[in-house]
Structure 1
């Protein structure tokens, strides 16, 4: 493994794109850096991904794989800007309700078939279909595509969805209302194309390595559940000649400390930093320990549905619990990796929106604690009648440390008795989605860089409103924001309602905290969404 600061700066922080088609003398065509003979990138993931089906996947690690296997209309560069994908560009009509994408004529599926506009029509209709019942079905509705709500509800046929193939290379989308950030939304995996013949031939098994046909820079060559997933160069990819990384391996390692040990042994090129380890590792390995802002929020959500605890129906209880969480201890002592305290749902890194300062944020922790004691007493809870509930998180040492810290804060300050429980990722998602919990960990990374990607989760009809928070005013504000020329006052009021009603407890806004081998070139540290593409990376020779 290369351990030189010079290469870290030149490689990791470089935002130069690979545009050459030949790598004479084993050097990078733009930077001139010597390239490693073995262009294999190996990284660690916490859990088994939910799927590699673009219209089914619902987690970050799965989406990372899908971005390599499939390519949508638009991609992002190292700074998060839109760049061409399958589409070379797009136009919009005068009122921005009709977008027309022109597809490149050399895009192919891994079996050699051309990628056409019909592949996008099929995929988008599939994402909306009641039959598939995708966990991201709501995303199609969120995109304001014409008739999306009626199609999802089964009230209109799939072909009523506002998508058309005007010809093989022209894809037209009609919106029910103008949506200024619509093109950004096409970088999300839900909108990636799907090969209709293959899906219909193999059903759910179409994504197995022996069956899958994809149009991205890589093909899936191996998948061992709960162990590893491997993708290798797709020779049919339109820009294959400019791709340097040959193979990408995602290893499932549930324990962060085991992952760090394996990284230090040279088995991994990248791993997440265990909670609290960044200060030490940045001193001992300054060229490899990195931290940068991410468009993600870490929070806990109350189950406010009929199946939730009666105690949580009282806003005073929710507010008392939120007030008592000392976020500074969690960010500086438990995590210690550059995370920032969260008193809003949308992170400060969100483009075009600065969350309002919550009253809680301007108070000292002592003042918050005192208010919390009063609120909980008003709600009828105290030492003689302690509040009791279950707190659930998905299995991870870092999540456990945070849950333990929060439960101790509540115990010491409020006399609250918390039972902690953890579940494996897929079980956890199902349990939370079925409202079979009391208080559950939540995390959200922006699907696009606009405040609505977070705030829309508070909509009554959102597929990821797992706590079933309902507010007619929030629904009204979010609906108005879809067509407003100035969304700031609308989003500000939504954040204020969240602060007042406390359906969730925001804990911190993420940082990307990694151990990254300095051999890895072009990691997109400036892309707060962390939409990375293996085709844009390279390995530097030792």
Structure 2
């Protein structure tokens, strides 16, 4: 099954991009007829390159993480680093797609119950054994409603038995009552450590991405005794020495807002496959500085800024990638003041949606690397049939976003009349690397009659803005966590905690429940299309583009596993040769 999944995804991405390492796609029912490999694939069997005899050091850039606790890791840099210092039951292999065994050595399926056997020789970085109890604790901690995990809804998504009752529980004000009720809910959840090496996971239905998600950070283990020793949620994984490591690397130095240094984890079960001695992630936000560092061999790989694409796209060190990601404007319908009145006005939101020419946007701002944002779900995600991805099968949803400047002007005037006031300047929060497209959009909306004031924010500030609802518009994005449309569509349920802009719709929740209760794949995908239409027609999430970019990587850097969904890269097999 897994081989056919990879082939289908690779076919889709090959059409979408010139060079890409694909991710396994979903082809229907779960099957245990094809088991993952339990042997690490170093990828060097037929490789004439020799690992350099010098210290193996890889120099990269990454922003300051917002969280490295697996249950709290949310932003791309969080997941990138967590994926390389921790490990789940499964791991994606060197090809970026194929599932291999991680800390598990096998699994069996009986109906909706999965029984995983944990490798007996796996240990934490402090020498403690990694056990099934560590997985049970971590999953339940991520579902604990007091912890506000950004991915607690994933456990309901995979249909983990009684997960919703825990994750969405209304917490009593009395702490003693809350502890009693939450513990009872945890005891009822369908994950049990039967002994130190046996983990039983009970679902209420099959979800095609379940096994893939066991390689996702939210599903990584946590050592309960150490977690509690360093202060639990408030203390765990806040410094290099307040976490234990189960993956290929461990953090040796964490200078906040400056750099994170990873070193080879000598306690890792597959340490012989790890060739790098050290990875240095420097926090360099300025794109010009990143390019200068790459040119002077200060760093070994960067994402090419849009302004430098023409200069570097023909380089032998450049590779073009398609990240399965959608960039969108998030309009805050809970904003205060006159600004909030406009943002709650549907005519205004529709004017924002149809008042920008996406074809021109991707050509001017991205040099054609991105593709126009034709829906919430980007190209490349699994469709109802193996020969067609979801986006190709549902082109009609582009109608909601078709460029119509005159209609947008008319809607804007009608919105002003309904609100009864002139439209004030609205704030637009962006990342630094979004400056070029944001300036283009600012000018296009100015022509429409909408003035946007741009503010550059980092991930931590953006997270605070979302949580406080203290923003007007945020230029945000979401990359697929797994290869199935629900990786996007489950975000918009009233229980997910994701929208953070006032979006909630009973009709949408009802459709979502139908998708969870149907086993007919064709019917499920029809419901997906209806759900996407509901969100698009609300115009509070306005897709702009789907991701595409060039990466520069020094020729002496070998065997970096690239993933098109979930954490972006794995360095377990990477090495330096010929530097």
Contact 2:335 2:472 in 1 (8 A): no
Q: Structure 1: which 5+ runs fail to align?
A: 1-10
**What is aligned with 1:263?**
294
3-state SS of paired residue (1:125): helix
Q: TM-score by structure 2 length? A: 0.83
Q: TM-score by structure 1 length? A: 0.89
**What is aligned with 2:6?**
none
3-state SS of paired residue (2:427): strand
Structure 1 residues 402 and 236, CA gap change in structure 2 (3 angstroms): same
Structure 1 residues 328 and 351, CA gap change in structure 2 (3 angstroms): same
Contact 1:89 1:102 in 2 (8 A): yes
Structure 1 residues 199 and 530, CA gap change in structure 2 (3 angstroms): closer
Contact 2:430 2:456 in 1 (8 A): yes
Tell whether 2:239 aligns with 1:201: no
Tell whether 2:404 aligns with 1:388: no
**What is aligned with 1:102?**
117
Q: Deviations over 1:216-257 (max 9, x none)?
A: 111110000000001111111111012112211111001111
Contact 1:524 1:530 in 2 (8 A): no
Contact 1:28 1:34 in 2 (8 A): no
Q: Which moved more, 1:347-356 or 1:165-174?
A: 347-356
**What is aligned with 1:5?**
none
Q: Which moved more, 1:136-145 or 1:467-476?
A: 136-145
Out of 279, 284, 300, the residue aligned to residue 329 of structure 2 is 300
How far, CA to CA, are the matches of 1:360 and 1:130 in structure 2? 37
Q: Deviations over 1:197-232 (max 9, x none)?
A: 111111143422234321111111000000000111
- 1:338 to partner: Cα distance: 1.7
- 1:358 to partner: Cα distance: 4.0
**What is aligned with 2:85?**
69
- 1:42 to partner: Cα distance: 1.4
Q: Deviations over 1:243-278 (max 9, x none)?
A: 112211111001111111111110111112112321
Q: Deviations over 1:397-431 (max 9, x none)?
A: x322222211210111x222222223332122111
3-state SS of paired residue (2:471): coil
3-state SS of paired residue (2:240): coil
How far, CA to CA, are the matches of 1:252 and 1:200 in structure 2? 30
Q: How does 1:11-410 map to 2 (within 5 A)?
A: 28-36=44-52, 37-45=54-62, 47-77=63-93, 78-94=95-111, 97-152=112-167, 153=169, 154=171, 155-157=181-183, 158-203=186-231, 204-207=234-237, 208-283=239-314, 286-305=315-334, 307=336, 309-336=340-367, 338-352=369-383, 353-355=389-391, 356-358=394-396, 360=398, 365=403, 368-380=404-416, 386-396=422-432, 398-410=433-445
State the superposition RMSD in angstroms. Answer: 2.7
3-state SS of paired residue (2:49): coil
How far, CA to CA, are the matches of 1:211 and 1:422 in structure 2? 31
Q: Deviations over 1:477-517 (max 9, x none)?
A: 22222232222101111122223221211011112431211
**What is aligned with 2:575?**
538
Out of 469, 479, 493, the residue aligned to residue 530 of structure 2 is 493
**What is aligned with 1:484?**
518
Structure 1 residues 515 and 370, CA gap change in structure 2 (3 angstroms): same
3-state SS of paired residue (1:536): coil
How far, CA to CA, are the matches of 2:566 and 2:329 in structure 1? 21
Q: Structure 2: which 5+ runs fail to align?
A: 1-18, 24-36, 172-180, 384-388
- 1:518 to partner: Cα distance: 1.6
3-state SS of paired residue (1:343): coil
Structure 1 residues 360 and 163, CA gap change in structure 2 (3 angstroms): closer
3-state SS of paired residue (2:454): strand
**What is aligned with 1:470?**
504
How far, CA to CA, are the matches of 2:533 and 2:424 in structure 1? 28
How far, CA to CA, are the matches of 1:119 and 1:471 in structure 2? 37
User: With CA pairs under 8 Å and 6+ residues apart, which has the higher RCO, 1 or 2?
Assistant: 1
How far, CA to CA, are the matches of 1:148 and 1:372 in structure 2? 44
**What is aligned with 1:7?**
none
- 1:190 to partner: Cα distance: 0.9
Contact 1:393 1:400 in 2 (8 A): no
Structure 1 residues 264 and 220, CA gap change in structure 2 (3 angstroms): same
Contact 2:390 2:485 in 1 (8 A): no
3-state SS of paired residue (2:465): helix
How far, CA to CA, are the matches of 2:273 and 2:441 in structure 1? 48
Structure 1 residues 12 and 246, CA gap change in structure 2 (3 angstroms): farther
- 1:325 to partner: Cα distance: 1.6
Out of 417, 440, 452, the residue aligned to residue 474 of structure 2 is 440
